[in-house]
Amino acid sequence: MINEITKIIKSLSGRIITFGIVEKELIDEIVKNKKIDDFLVLSFTKQIKYNNSNDCTPVKKIKVNKIKRKNKKKKFDYMLFEVSDIKESINKMIYESLSLAKNKIYFYGNSKDYSYSKILNKYKRYGLKIKIQKYKDKNYVIEIEMKKINIFVKQYYRIIDFFVFTYESIGQALTS
């Protein structure tokens, strides 16, 4: 799995943002890659174990809207997500990644942490090209190729997601 992610990192260029990548060897690959102009390494829940760069300091509270506001003019070419790190706010991250990413989005993780079918369903409705690689130990890597999406379509699906989430929350509260 780590070997597959290092291959992906070696192929990246331009501006990238990562969420949940804390392994020192992966961060080293990002730093070594000369084609990467600018990178941002963030983590919601894990401590980043890297001391050689100011870009890799741990962040206690990440505000995605603030990232979006600061990078309004310059989108990120690539986004890398480790699913177990963002599973609490995955719906918001999926919605915001549509605005922040320019070329490709990568998700990787284990099916025990978060089901990849939920991620696939969220992105398929926008008509994006999706490739998935499954591994024997229930790990997966999802590659999503971006295209321009109408803002009204994004808002429509965001409203639908809100009502579905509310309906599921009420159902869980009544059954427990």
What confidence tens digit (pLDDT) does each residue in 133-175 have? 998 888 999 999 999 899 899 999 999 999 999 999 999 999 9
Banded pLDDT at 114 (limits 50, 70, 90): confident
- Domains of the chain (ranges; CATH) run 2-147 (3.40.50.150)
| pLDDT digit string, tens, across residues 84-109 | 888 888 888 888 888 889 999 999 98
- For residue 50, count other CB atoms closer than 10 A to its CB: 20
| Tokens 């639908």, located at residue | 160
Banded pLDDT at 74 (limits 50, 70, 90): confident
Task: For residues 3 and 12, give the distance between their C-alpha atoms in angstroms, rounded to a whole number.
Answer: 15
| pLDDT digit string, tens, across residues 23-66 | 888 888 888 889 988 888 887 766 555 555 555 555 556 677 77
Q: What is the pLDDT of residue 55?
A: 52
| CA 84 from centre of chain | 10
Q: Which of 80, 134, 122 is nearest to 103 (CA)?
A: 80
User: What is the pTM for the complete model shown?
Assistant: 0.86
Distances (CA, A) of 154 to 21, 99, 160: 27, 9, 10
Q: What is the 3-state secondary structure (H, E, C) of the chain?
A: CHHHHHHHHHHCCEEEEEECCCCHHHHHHHHHCCCEEEEEEECCCCCCCCCCCHHHCCCCCCCHHHHHHHCCCCCEEEEEEEHHHHHHHHHHHHHHHHHHEEEEEEEEEECCCCCHHHHHHHHHCCCCEEEEEECCCCEEEEEEECCCCCHHHHHHHHHHHHHHHHHHHHHHHHHC
